[in-house]
Structure 1
């Protein structure tokens, strides 16, 4: 019987008492709800079952006529086959995604009798049947795509179902083949880079993947902006590095299928540059003397101080300090034992140098006598001598004055 027509089953029965008649479909009693109409002519014994507007999914199967009275029961069966053109009840997905190298299966559920034949198409080209299957329990037609690749399998798929009563075509399904992230480092050549202040630094990667990967560059965990992105090439450039550019740079790329990362460590150094060297100092007895030098370098150098080749540490006598790029040694309450050569050794692990300077401790000039050593009267025209006694370290320079004016050194004044 064709889909939508009326199926009629007739039989002649006999028995006494008159048997009870039950019509069943696949073991379940038929009712008006299924479109069943039952007739029985007791005079002739004719029994009739009519099923209107038969449906392939609802009515196909075994029809049973069961007779029952007090003396027993009897059954007769017949098969109800409904002929129907293919009807797609579950369409192909509009889109499917798979990962390159993985298998993917396209599925469609179809009703029809006789069972329809399926012809699959890829970009309107027929697909060979060796990878097609049919699940009879689910009425599901399947196409297995093995180890999918972009070049061979990405595109549009559809299936045409045919039997003697007609054909039906599925909606198209677009298959996208995703590819994992691929990182190709162009530069630098190593994962650790050592540069001097002022030199150029560049990170360059080719990044591929489908879908297009999301790319992020961080320095010590904080995001930094790439300098340029052209196609797959991703570049980060520093024209002249500074100490604050030192750190660990991590490039991360991820898409739906995978994530990749690469780490580059940038180490920065600057040679020792002493812009203000140590110089000799003169300090008065009991006062404070400060020796200092100014040095630019990276890493920041360590300065070790020596006095007459003995290393100095912080103490009540000596104070060692660093302020920015100024390194100083303070000598408190300078005394004669503090006189000598002081040496600063400057070392930042990359470069090393030394500076030396002398510290001199002096004493203010002092008049040893409150009055001139000799006070005398002089006779006009005769020589006379005036003298005072002074002390001091270093030896004081003496200037003679007469009425507040320096005396010249000549034949008269000596």
Structure 2
């Protein structure tokens, strides 16, 4: 028959240090290994016989007596997450099978937590629900049999903790403040490894005012409208990520720095009424004329330029004269102001005859009259040789309802 020798299911060859002999006369098959090696030759040896009529196998176990030999060491560093199980493993060869003693910070560990996988020659230590206080430290294992003993390299176990974020301030997730009031974000951030902590406002990173130990603080002494937004803290380490969100709303009451005032324009010209107002949120402005709301049109132009709000009356006419009201409302505060638009006409002189044609007799009384028109009613000033005349016993000035102004001279003189 054909004879095949196998070790742990794999054919043995001279490369494996094996010598195979077959005595055809006696039928003896012989396997010789001059220099046995624990790692190379220990295990199940099989002699397989085959001919055209069938096959047969015989097996035996080859145990090689040797002091313990670690073929796969403990890792120098091992990490786990708090509350989870972790298993430390070491692969050891040796016969008789070595006994293992596990140590934690040089203190022996009870054997009930240790197991042995015979198929893999693997010694295992199960650490259940690891915590920093109870399980973080240095582990090692000592292996011993009748032929000797060995010790593994030490393994430092680090127990990582999930991120924990505790909000100190504010006490709510939404904060409503008025301008110049203070705003503070304060968080305690824990975790192992130490988390990376980032603060953003509307997606853009902002810097913490101070970081001391666990405490992270962002402080604004006097809030402004630009501080309004959504603030998000993100804390991240190997084990987890935590977030906290605070929304800041900033408001400012109405601050009218230029009030609405009466306006005078000439007929046909444009008249503009305007008000300057600071507020946040930006106010909504509504214009009224004699309590009728105005909209943008060819007659009325409504404009907003930053904090200046204006109403322009195009080509003002007499029907445009009246009371205009502006209503200012930003949802927080509101106010109303009124002003009058006056449309005037330039003064016009309507005299019966030019003044230089006027004549009188010395010593007699005489009058000089002119009729004036205009809107608003013109103010009339009489002058003599370029100097204003003041009424006295001899000079009297009067005005009639039709706009005629009369200078009466008593006892005319040269």
The answer, yes or no, to whether TM exceeds 0.5 is yes
Matched with 2:93 is 111
Residues of 2 paired with 1:35 and 1:233: CA distance? Answer: 67
Instruction: Give the corresponding residue for 2:376.
Output: 394
Asked if 1:85 corresponds to 2:71, the answer is no
**Equivalents in 2 of 1:68, 1:354: separation in Å?**
113
What SS does the aligned partner of 2:97 have? Answer: coil
Match of 2:108 in 1: 126
Cα distance in 1 for partners of 2:23, 2:289 equals: 136
1:272 to 254, 269, 289: 254
Distance 1:122 1:254 in 2: 30
CA contact (8 A) 1:21 1:65 kept: no
User: Which residue is 2:411 aligned to?
Assistant: none
- Contact 2:97 2:145 (C-alpha < 8 Å) held by counterparts: yes
Alignment map for 1:59-208 (pairs within 5 Å)? 59-61=41-43, 80-208=62-190
Structure 2 length-normalised TM: 0.87
Alignment of 1:271-310 (within 5 A): 271-310=253-292
Q: 2:194 aligns with which of 212, 220, 224?
A: 212
Rounded Cα–Cα distance in structure 2 between residues aligned with 1:66 and 1:405 = 147
Q: Cα–Cα, structure 1 residues 23 and 248, in superposed 2: closer, same or farther, change >3 Å?
A: closer
Partner of 2:341: 359
Q: Which moved more, 1:295-304 or 1:38-47?
A: 38-47
Q: Distance in 2 between matches of 1:285 and 1:74?
A: 127
Q: Once the two structures are superposed, what CA deviation does each residue of 1:10-31 show, in whole Å capped at 9, x if it has no partner?
A: xxxxxxxxxx996946587765
RMSD between aligned residues: 3.0
- Counterpart for residue 410 of structure 2: none
Say yes or no: does 1:262 pair with 2:244: yes
State the distance in 2 between where 1:247 and 1:269 align.
12
Closer/same/farther in 2, CA of residues 208 and 64 from structure 1, 3 Å limit? closer
Contact 1:374 1:386 in 2 (8 A): no
Shift of 1:410: 1.4
Say if 1:372 and 1:388, in contact at 8 Å, map to a contact too: no
Deviations 1:111-131 (A, max 9, x none): 000000000000100000111
- Alignment partners' CA distance in 1, 2:321 and 2:180: 42
What is the TM-score normalised by the length of structure 1? 0.87
Secondary structure in structure 2 of the residue aligned to 1:388: strand
Task: Pick from 233, 241, 251 the counterpart of residue 251 of structure 1.
Answer: 233
Shift of 1:91: 0.3
Cα 1:285–1:21, aligned 2, differ >3 Å: closer, same or farther? closer
Secondary structure of the 1:389 match is: strand
For residues 45-82 of structure 1, give each alpha carbon's deviation from its aligned partner in whole angstroms, at most 9, with x where no partner exists: 9998653221223333566789999xx99999875432
> Which stretch of the first structure deviates more once superposed, 106-115 or 328-337?
328-337
2 CA distance for matches of 1:75 and 1:394?
A: 132
Task: Kindly indicate whether the alpha-carbon contact (under 8 Å) linking 1:23 and 1:49 is maintained by their aligned counterparts in 2.
Answer: no
Distance 1:33 1:240 in 2: 84
Distance 1:68 1:189 in 2: 85
